[in-house]
Every structure is written in C-alpha cells, then in structure tokens.
Structure 1
Amino acid sequence: MLLIRLIDGINEIVGRIVAFVAVIFALMIIYDVVMRYGFNAPTLWAFDLTKQLFGFYFVLLGGYALRHQAHVRVDLVTEKLSPGVRRVVDVLGYLIFFFPFAWVFTTRSWEFAMRSLNQGETTYGAIQLPVYPVKIAMAVAAALLLLQGVSELLKLILNKPEPHHVG
C-alpha cells in the first residue's frame, strides 16, 4: 500500500539523517574535552549545544524506532497468543493507548513549540541558544511517531508481514 510505503520511507530517511547527529554530537564532546583538559580552554557553547543535539537525536528517532519494532514491549501476555489474536490485541493497543497518547503528544508539543518560538525562548547558559528548534523538533517527532503508528496499524489490519530491512 502506497501510504504504508510513504510513511515508512519518511521515517527511514529521517532516522538515517538523524543518525549523523550522533557523529556530530560525539565530535563536539571530544572537541570540548580536548579544549578543556588539553588546552585549559573550555568552550562556552559546547554544553548547551550538545544538550540540544542530544534532544534532536533522542526525539526524532521515535518513528524510526517504531518502524523497526525497536521500542520496548511487554510481550508476556501476547507471546502465548495465536498470531490472529495477537494481531487483534495489537490493533486494540494502538487504538486504545497509542493513538490517544500520540495525538496528545503531537498537539501539546506543537503548542509548546509555538509558544517557545513566539517568545524567542533561549537557554540560560553563557551563550544563549534558541530553544525553539528543539521544541519544534519534538513536535515534528510526535507527528512522525503518530504517522508511523498509522502505518503499523494498517500493516496489522491488512495482515502485511514486515518486509526485510536493508541497513
């Protein structure tokens, strides 16, 4: 189904791009440590910026993790069920728990981000970095998670097996 491929593809691309943030994040920490302990010249910006990059990294991978079934699941009850019953339980789980949570997460984080943007919110560190990019990323991440939930629900309803992933 085109919608499933589109949503899965978006989260796959976002996940792979965000993975590069981890490399940037690590390089910044190494740079800061070398400057601090090697040259006794700590940076003023590294702490706040690495916190923000970690925020981007952490929140934007939610949809990617759901796509690859990497979220923590408690399968103690469902592992003993037949595949058909397990699918029904999973569908009900998405409808009763996941979608209400994802909807509230998406709408509230969007409001949170827009408030931060409108106020021009910044960090309190030595260098005042804007906070709204991370909060906007949180709203985007919530929307990506919600969309991936739609894809996963459609796969369950249509009884589509998960394709093999290359990567």
Structure 2
Amino acid sequence: MKALLKLSLGIDWINERIGWLASVAVLLTALISAGNAFVRYIFDISSNGWLEIQWYLFAGIVMLGASVVLKLNEHVRVDLIYGKLKGNAPVYVDLFGLIFFLLPVMLLMVYLSWPLLVKMYVMNEMSNNAGGLVRWPAMLMLPLGFGLMCLQGFSEIVKRICYLMGIHQMDTHYEKPVQ
C-alpha cells in the first residue's frame, strides 16, 4: 500500500504542476482579452483568432485545473448531509463517489472524446470563422483533462484507503489524529 501511496503523491505532484499551467492560462487569457479590446477600440483592428485563443485558454483553465480542485478537496458537493457526518463517514462517502461516479464518468469521457480529437487532428479541422484557428488543440483539453481527473481520482482513492488504514494523514477536514 505504501508503494501506491507514493504513486498517489507523484500523481498529486504532476497535477499541481499542470494546475500551475492552468493558472498561467488565466493570466494569459486576461492579458489577451485586454490587449484585444485595446487594439479593437483604439485602432479598430480585430481578429477572430484572438477571440478563439481566449476560448482555447479557457478550455485549458477548466480542464487542466479541475484535477487540482479535486486534489484540494474544493470541488462542488452537496454539504446538506455530508457536512453533518462524523468520524470516518465522510471518507466512506468520498470513496463511494470516487469509485462509482467520478472514475466511471471520467473514463467514459476519455473514451468518447479521444476519437473526436483524433478526427480533428487528422483532418486538421479549422474554425469556420474568418481568421480562426485550428481546432485540435482545444479538443486536446478534453481527453487530457478527463485523463488527469481519472489519475487524481485514483490518487484520492488511494489516499483515503491509506487514511482509513492509519498510513496517511489527509490534508482535509477529517478528524482522525496523526499516528
């Protein structure tokens, strides 16, 4: 189990680095948006390519940042019942959700999005907009992001099992004392 925990912490490290790229994409999106607005209103020059790169970066922000959100346990959940659970009950609820909902759905999304990416790449599909960009880099974010979520989901499962076994202390609100 300790080897799996080491793998899990390696997955965490990778997703943190990729999450950093997502945060850089936020800055780039803001700069491109401001620059595009400035050029459009001051010089009356515009390009659909600049608008599309913002959309592509937004896809990167969402898809590459989602696994970090899961790692930080900041994802959306209904706390109506979960927040009232005591002891190890929240860990078991998390395990159930990760195993029976997150992983199957993310694996299905990787399976469904991969052929679309391959098709766009092979055909070198371009945007229909004048001055638009090639589409496959934006589509790449789907299988990549869902794949990263699968890896992070696996990491979270391993950490929770280790937590229940007393091997690992979680960085969340769980109340189990450090051993």
TM-score (norm: length of structure 2) = 0.85
Choose the corresponding residue for 1:56, options 44, 47, 60. 60
Residues 98, 157 of structure 2: 8 Å contact kept = yes
Choose the corresponding residue for 1:134, options 134, 138, 161. 138
Residues 56, 134 of structure 1: 8 Å contact kept = yes
Deviation at 1:43, TM superposition (A): 3.1
Residues 67, 148 of structure 1: 8 Å contact kept = yes
Deviation larger for 42-51 or 107-116: 42-51
- Mapped to 2, the partners of 1:163 and 1:86 lie a distance apart of 14
Paired position in structure 2 for 1:110: 114
Paired position in structure 1 for 2:175: none
Deviation at 1:128, TM superposition (A): 3.2
Report the secondary structure of 1:5's partner residue.
helix
Residues 121, 132 of structure 1: 8 Å contact kept = yes
1:63-117 C-alpha deviation (Å, 9 max, x unpaired): 1111111211112112222221222222111121111111101211222211211
Paired position in structure 1 for 2:35: 31
Report the secondary structure of 1:51's partner residue.
helix
1:112-151 C-alpha deviation (Å, 9 max, x unpaired): 2112112211111111311111111211111100000001
- Mapped to 2, the partners of 1:144 and 1:33 lie a distance apart of 33
Deviation at 1:44, TM superposition (A): 4.0
Residues 110, 143 of structure 2: 8 Å contact kept = yes
Report the secondary structure of 2:79's partner residue.
coil
TM-score (norm: length of structure 1) = 0.91
Paired position in structure 2 for 1:161: 169
- Mapped to 1, the partners of 2:34 and 2:141 lie a distance apart of 25
Residues 29, 58 of structure 2: 8 Å contact kept = yes
Name the aligned partner's letter for residue 100 of structure 2: I
Deviation larger for 133-142 or 44-53: 44-53
- Mapped to 1, the partners of 2:97 and 2:64 lie a distance apart of 23
Name the aligned partner's letter for residue 29 of structure 2: F
Deviation larger for 135-144 or 110-119: 110-119
| Number of aligned positions between the proteins | 164
Aligned CA RMSD, in angstroms, stands at: 1.5
Q: Which runs of 4+ in 1 moved over 4 A?
A: none
Choose the corresponding residue for 1:66, options 70, 85, 108. 70
Residues 109, 142 of structure 1: 8 Å contact kept = no
Residues 160, 170 of structure 2: 8 Å contact kept = no
